[in-house]
Structure 1
């Protein structure tokens, strides 16, 4: 498919946010309880692993742009069996995890902004994927955007019951 202006805008904003995230701004830093640092470190490491696995599983289908590449295949195995966008999910784990680990309110704010960007970027990407792959509609229903759907459903069932 042909790349559109939105593809370039999403990627540009994404890279600007990544750049802003790595800037060392110490506006407000919080001294968390030690277990929050450990949760942040665990989340960060988990995110790195998810990113690496997702990159390997995407292989030739990898593109920074939301519009699918011309000869791409819909990946529905591995992490993609449970999550539609594990690469974005892994990046979110990394940025939130690191922000928690170092206690940086600034990084957590930027991470939240990255989450909002990824939400809209995936929404746009999924419109393109629905046009490109006939089986995407069923795949979308069966899987979660950033988290496995079954885990989320079970969590909310336990909370509500």
Structure 2
């Protein structure tokens, strides 16, 4: 199970990196001249890189089943939750259109909706 989760996380990371392209930065602030990315995986979740890191942390815990790994995973989760809120605020300030984007797209995991019944 841990290996499958790790593979899923890596696939999400590659997709997010590809969709960001030259706009990719490790900082919460966007690069100068970069546009708000709302396509690709970003049309389903706002913070796919953080999502992948959550999944990797879970995979690491499942693999090691260690208290220290659990504590590290929880600390990473807290940091990423804070960083995502901070990043969302920066994006609202720089890209007013991100307000509607943030209202309609979940931050970390896609919404799974049941199909309409005929």
Structure with higher Rg: it is: 1
In 2, Cα distance between equivalents of 1:125 and 1:113: 18
Root-mean-square deviation (Å): 1.4
- TM-score (normalizing by structure 2): 0.89
Runs (4+) off by over 3 Å: none
CA deviations on 1:85-117 (whole Å, 9 max, x unpaired) are 001111111121122122222112111111110
Query: What's 1:80 paired with?
Result: 42
In 2, Cα distance between equivalents of 1:96 and 1:108: 8
User: 2:23 aligned with 1:64, yes or no?
Assistant: no
Query: What's 1:97 paired with?
Result: 59
Q: How many aligned positions are there?
A: 114
Structure with the higher helix share, 1 or 2: 1
Uncovered stretches (5+) of structure 1, i.e. residues with no partner: 1-37, 155-161
Uncovered stretches (5+) of structure 2, i.e. residues with no partner: none
Cα distance, 1:42 vs. partner? Answer: 1.6
What SS class does the counterpart of residue 49 from structure 2 fall into?
helix
- TM-score (normalizing by structure 1): 0.66
User: 2:80 aligned with 1:118, yes or no?
Assistant: yes
In 2, Cα distance between equivalents of 1:66 and 1:96: 23
In 1, Cα distance between equivalents of 2:35 and 2:56: 27
